[in-house]
Amino acid sequence: MTVNGRASGAGPVPPCLLPWQRLPDSAAIRLLCFHHAGGAASSFAAWQAGLGPDVAVVPVQLPGRERRVREPRFRDFDRLLDEVDEQLDPLLDGHYAVYGHSLGGLIAHELTRRRVATGRHAPELLVVGACAPPHVPHSAVAPQNASDAQLTSWMRGLGGVPDRVARHPDWLRRSVELLRDDLCLVHSHPRHPAEPLPVPLRVLAAESDPLLTPAQAREWARHTSYDFRVHTLPGGHFFHREYPEATLRVISQLLPVATEQI
């Protein structure tokens, strides 16, 4: 693994990165990717091949899933952000952009806000997908009051239960437990007033996403003092899985805008 153009021999790979993660020196920009509630870093498994060698795709794995399944999951947003910020900081003194999907959009935005507030190097571009702006009231189901059946129904309504999971009760139960904890993160997110950040902002919104209306997508404009655009894609809340080629086409068109500012 290389960090900022140097071979990293000072310590282990941060737990939030995949153990085989490579950060090619030849890449013009790094793209950090934060996954949705109930999801995992594997959501972005095909992105490196899709975006090519000029972009180093860095999926960020939250604890309690996939190879981090034995680690306790966070339910407090600030505690999660403390860990993510500490582990990723050594990777963020070069040129990078950030993409977050749903819950990941809140993490991506809050990480950017924290880095700006502390005077550290901010991303060249912030992209959020399927994520309502942080000043808008939560539309996700309240995890504290919902039963497993209600969470399952809500998740299925969004298209978030793959057929292979639905056919196995144990897998479905674990998926609901993961979703419940991740929704606690959503509901513990600090509701800061809209604060314009000096970072270009792009919103990816799907035509049929019940959790992000077109009006809500435009409300993200309050959170940047730089240029802002909304890009509409086909599909629902998980458009990045339903239409991966269309999603990567848009992102690949956005990233050169970031590299032009370098």
pLDDT tens for residues 92-151?
989 999 999 999 999 999 999 999 999 999 999 999 999 999 998 877 788 888 898 899
Three-class SS of 113-167: HHHHHCCCCCCCEEEEECCCCCCCCCCCCCCCCCCHHHHHHHHHHCCCCCHHHHC
Q: Which amino acid is at 118?
A: T
CATH number reported for the structural domain that contains residue 217 in this entry: 3.40.50.1820
Residue 166: the pLDDT is: 67
Q: Which residue has the higher pLDDT, 193 or 218?
A: 218
Answer yes or no: are the C-beta atoms of 57 and 44 closer than 8 Å. yes
Q: Is residue 141 part of a domain?
A: no
Residue 182: the pLDDT is: 95
Question: Helices 169-187 and 103-117 meet at what angle, rounded to 10?
Answer: 30
- Domains of the chain: total: 1
Q: Is residue 119 part of a domain?
A: yes
Range of the domain at 17: 2-136+192-256
Q: Is residue 172 part of a domain?
A: no
Position 260 pLDDT exceeds 50: no
Q: Per-residue pLDDT tens for 19-71?
A: 777 777 789 999 999 999 999 999 999 999 999 999 999 999 999 999 999 99
Question: Helices 148-157 and 169-187 meet at what angle, rounded to 10?
Answer: 90
Q: Is residue 187 part of a domain?
A: no
Model's pTM, two decimal places? 0.90
3-state secondary structure of 5: coil
Answer yes or no: are the C-beta atoms of 254 and 53 closer than 8 Å. no
